Amino acid sequence: MRRIFLASAMLCLGVIGAGQLLGQPAYALDAEMLNVMRMHPSPNGAPASAPYSAIPREIVDYNGPYPAGTVVVVSSERRLYLVLPGHKAMKYGVGVGRPGFGWSGTVHISAKKKWPGWTPPASMLRRRPHLPHFVKGGPNNPLGARAMYLSGTEYRIHGSNEPETIGHAMSSGCIRMTNADIKDFYNRVKVGATVHVLR
């Protein structure tokens, strides 16, 4: 497991991963990322090679203050809630920012894209200059099947080709979902929706 594909591993400003990007060179995983993988080898403490069981999405009761259509990310829970009509919410498992990269605030979904390409932000390229400067959209792109761009930030809510990272704090700020969940979420949420990211 010494050669791990960087774009997946670094996605969203530095997410850990073990996927492989077609047509791109492989990169060695750096020591910082290996340490995080040792701390969080896979969900439920299982070995990294064990089959991953996705966190099921579910409709739950909601009696909070936000109207239908609002997105609420509770980072400490590793969960995202999309408020639905009738005091309900769709609850999804997510991956969030690793220590030092967590954040909170209120933003809006400024754009939605299917199979988006990935351009690492300048801040990430300064930290890791060996990263590719662009990765074409597709099934092996680290942004996954869909991405929702968050206003005023470099962050996104996006899919992932590494579902074993969902439920953990491994990214550099982006909110990750399985590709199945991001497709469901994409069809439900609108451009302009308010997103509250809570610690």
Q: Single out the catalytic residue among 12, 40, 174, 196.
A: 174
| 174 is known as an active-site residue | yes
Report the 3 state secondary structure along 126-184. HHCCCCCCCECCCCCCCCCCEEEEECCCCCEEECCCCHHHCCCEEECCCEECCHHHHHH
Q: 120: buried, middle or exposed (CB in 10 Å: 19+, 13-18, 0-12)? A: buried
| 12 is known as an active-site residue | no
C-alpha span between 33 and 66 (Å, rounded): 36
Instruction: List the one residue out of 172, 143, 148 whose CA is nearest residue 159.
Output: 143
103 to 16, 19, 41, 93: CA distances (angstroms): 18, 26, 23, 18
Element (DSSP H or E) covering residue 198: strand 194-198
Q: Single out the catalytic residue among 40, 158, 168, 196.
A: 158
11 to 28, 120, 154: CA distances (angstroms): 15, 8, 12
Q: Which residue numbers are catalytic?
A: 158, 174
